[in-house]
Amino acid sequence: MRILSGIQPTGRFHWGNYFGAIQQYIALQDNEQAFYFIADLHALTTVRDPKQLAQNTTDAALDLLALGLDPAKATLFRQSDVPEVSELMWLLMTVTQHSLLEKCHAYKDKVAKGIAADAGLFTYPVLMAADILLYDSDVVPVGVDQVQHVEVTRDIAQRINSLYNGEFLHLPNARVMESTAKVPGLDGEKMSKSYNNTIEIFETAKSLRKKIMSIKTDSTPVEAPKNPETCPVFTLYKLFATQEQQDALAARYRAGGMGYGEAKQTLYDAAFNHFAPARERREKWESQPADLERVLADGAKKARAKGQQVLQRVRDAMGLGQRLAGT
Ligand code: ADP
Ligand code: TRP
């Protein structure tokens, strides 16, 4: 069974990305054949600064490796290192109905917000379909917001199969990652880059402390009992703490006599320690850029070997035949 997922390098990863997605990708690498890529072609629809895009892509790779993605188990690559994906995208575009893409929420939401839609934003789901179909992926772990795109992928694959009369493309299934409820940000709303309320996984100690101290809390006085269940500091603490540790802090909230500052300090210690081994691993990878490039090059090589077979299948089905040797 092949698991595949992609993550966009649109900025540094935050706690929401980690607990909502990355942690689960990494857990899956132990049991299945896993392909994970950094979706730099998708990020082009929003990141227009070339240096920034390159930096984001490197940071994304470093973050994933630091957090435990093991290149001996999973195949990690940059989307743009596999040119076959762009070619497959065009082939898929020729059978994709405009009306199918018009229904996609991600596109509709952006248009509703007044964001001018480029063709790249509109056809984004077709590139995502190519990402998935190019490797005969079986399972695609994604957040709820991406399930519709996996449905679109199935539609497109079925259309190729029925128009050209054969099982050329393998139908994938979405696996919704919902074990972690949404991670709140500094303002208590969902943590998201778009809301500017994130805590990045690899903040410096100083910036981490400053951010945690700025988490919005109510004005209950120090002496008064407090409700842990409605406090974002406690919700975040739960991500890092054992059940016993959670019960202990909850009891201190309810007893009164503890200010939010103390709860924040407890959260700070837990979070800093949690990511300490990853921070060390990140520094090691960062000091060995040639090793990082080798991991990405090996990943792309493996991904291309599979992708070329599938692309050839589709080219044959559609009447294009063999690609010229050496391309
Ligand atoms: P952002 O909202 O910061 O732009 P993305 O949309 O790039 O983040 O999210 C990448 C992945 O991280 C998705 O799978 C998404 O479901 C998950 N994710 C992002 N924010 C959160 C959050 N606050 N809580 C749980 N999961 C999240
Ligand atoms: N669109 C996904 C997101 O924003 C990222 C992505 C691109 C992806 N291609 C993919 C996810 C293929 C799964 C499979 O989160």
Residue 188 Ramachandran class (φ > 0 left, ψ -120 to 50 alpha, else beta): left
Do 175 and 115 sit in the same domain of this protein? yes
Q: What's the confidence (pLDDT) of residue 139?
A: 96
Q: Which ligand is closest to the CA of 239, given by its number?
A: 1
Q: Given 73, 182, 193, 302, which residue is catalytic? A: 193
Distance from C-alpha of 145 to C-alpha of 125, rounded to nearest angstrom: 12
Residue of 73, 182, 190, 302 with catalytic role: 190
Q: How far is the CA of 19 from the centre of ligand 2 (A)?
A: 17
Positive or negative, the CA dihedral 291, 292, 294, 295 is positive
Residue 279 lies in a domain: no
In a domain, 77, yes or no: yes
Residue 183 CB less than 6 A away from ligand 1 = yes
Question: Cα–Cα distance between 160 and 168 in angstroms, integer?
Answer: 7
Tokens of 141: 């772990």
Distance 143 CA to ligand 2 centre (A): 9
Based on the fold, state whether residues 142 and 208 are members of the same structural domain. Answer: no
The answer to whether the CB of 313 is under 6 A from ligand 1 is no
174's enclosing H/E stretch is strand 173-176
Active-site annotation holds for 108: no
In contact, 295 and 71? CB cutoff 8 Å: yes
Residue 258 structural domain: 203-274
Tell me what pLDDT residue 182 has.
Answer: 84
The answer to whether residues 230 and 175 belong to one domain is: no
Residue of minimum CA distance from atom 8 in ligand 2 = 6
Nearest CA to ligand 1 atom 10: 17
Q: Do the beta carbons of residue 96 and residue 272 sit within 8 Å?
A: no
Domain match, 168 and 303 both: yes
- Can you tell me which residue has the tokens 């929003």? 46
Looking at the structure, tell me whether residues 165 and 39 fall in a common domain: yes
110: annotated active-site residue: yes
C-alpha 169 to ligand 1 mean position (Å): 29
What pLDDT was estimated at residue 180?
A: 62
**219 and 170 fall within a common domain:** no
On whether residue 93 sits in a domain, the answer given is yes
* Shared-domain flag, residues 297 and 218: no
**φ, ψ for residue 139, nearest 5 deg:** -130, 135
pTM: 0.94
Each residue's pLDDT tens digit in the chain (327 positions)? 999 999 999 999 999 999 989 999 999 999 889 999 999 999 999 999 999 999 999 999 999 999 999 999 999 999 999 999 999 999 999 999 999 999 998 889 888 988 888 999 999 999 999 999 999 999 999 988 899 999 999 999 999 999 999 999 999 999 988 656 689 999 999 999 989 999 999 999 999 999 999 999 999 999 999 999 999 999 999 999 999 999 999 999 999 999 999 999 999 999 999 999 999 999 999 999 999 999 999 999 999 999 999 999 999 999 999 988 777
Q: How many domains does the chain have?
A: 2
pLDDT for the residue numbered 280 = 98
- Residues 91, 221, single domain; the answer is no
Considering the domain architecture, whether residues 49 and 171 belong to the same structural domain is answered as: yes
Which CATH number fits the domain that encloses residue 209?
A: 1.10.240.10
Contact by Cβ (8 Å): 258, 249:
no
Cα torsion 311, 313, 317, 318 to 10°: value is: 10
> For ligand 1, is residue 182 a contact (CB within 6 Å)?
yes
Ligand 1 close to Cβ of residue 235 (< 6 A): no
Same domain membership, residue 167 and residue 42 = yes
Is 121 domain-assigned?
yes
Told to judge if 206 belongs to the known catalytic residues of this protein, a careful annotator would answer no
Residue 194 lies in a domain: no
Ligand 1 atom with the shortest distance to the CA of 190: 23
The answer to the question of residue 236 being in a domain is yes
Q: Are residues 98 and 175 in the same domain?
A: yes
Which CATH number does the domain housing residue 138 bear? 3.40.50.620
- 165 in a domain, yes or no? yes
Interatomic CA distance for residues 79 and 128, integer angstroms: 10
Does 17 map to a domain?
yes
The rounded Å distance from CA 13 to ligand 1 centre is: 9
Q: Are 251 and 305 found together in one domain?
A: no
